Amino acid sequence: MEVQSAAIHSLYNSLEFIRDNFEREVSSASGLSRSFADFKGERNYIMQVVCEATQSPSPAVQVGAFECLVRIMGLYYSKMDFYMERALFGLTTMGMRHSEEPVVLQAIEFWSTVCEEEIEINHEAQEVSTQSPRLSIPMLTSGCDVRRDPGDRVKGLCQDGSSRNPAYPSRPVVGPKRR
């Protein structure tokens, strides 16, 4: 068990440097009933090893494996959908029911990291939408020729000659006055 514990801690320490390995995934199968073993690729192999380590008889190995999962979620969250669907929910749920407190704490930390990543994604999406409100103008004015009038207001002339907003036909295409 000492060798397994040392190996999982070495993996933890190398996770930041194996980004290229996490990019390599070549699936050989598809479908919801498949397991990690049905897929070939470096990321899948790493995830399989870490997930199996969460089931080790040694609490120290389990803690190390959950620490790896926490770190993986922080580094490679965008690549984790497949694993979340297949195994991570069940593994972390079992980890939270473990008799050893360090294992429980790391399983909980996994979900704290997931929450932090989701909050960050939502925050970034809100920043993009508030920094550039014009991103939605093409969608709202599709089929219209958008122009600015001398008062610096956005006006549209639709293909049918009206100045209606295609998204809201009863409203004209007129934007806020710029300051």
Instruction: List Cβ neighbours of 163 (8 Å cut-off, separation of 6 or more).
Output: 144, 155, 156, 157, 172, 173, 174
Give the integer Cα–Cα distance in Å for 170 and 164: 7
Tokens of 40: 């070939």
Q: Report the pLDDT value the prediction gives residue 172, as an integer from 0 to 100.
A: 47
Question: CA separation (Å) from 71 to 9, 36, 76?
Answer: 12, 19, 8
pLDDT above 90 for 148? no
d(CA 41, CA 105): 30
Residue 67 has a CB neighbour count (10 Å cut-off) of 20
**Reported confidence tier of residue 128, pLDDT bands at 50, 70, 90:** confident
Residue 99's pLDDT is 95
Over the stretch 2-28, which tens digit does the pLDDT of each residue have?
899 999 999 999 999 988 888 876 544
- Per-residue model confidence as pLDDT tens digits over 79-109: 998 899 889 999 999 999 999 999 999 999 9
Alpha-helical (H) ranges within the chain are 2-14, 19-23, 42-53, 59-76, 81-83, 89-96, 101-131, 137-140
For residue 147, the cross-strand partners are: 155
Residue with the bigger pLDDT between 38 and 67: it is: 67
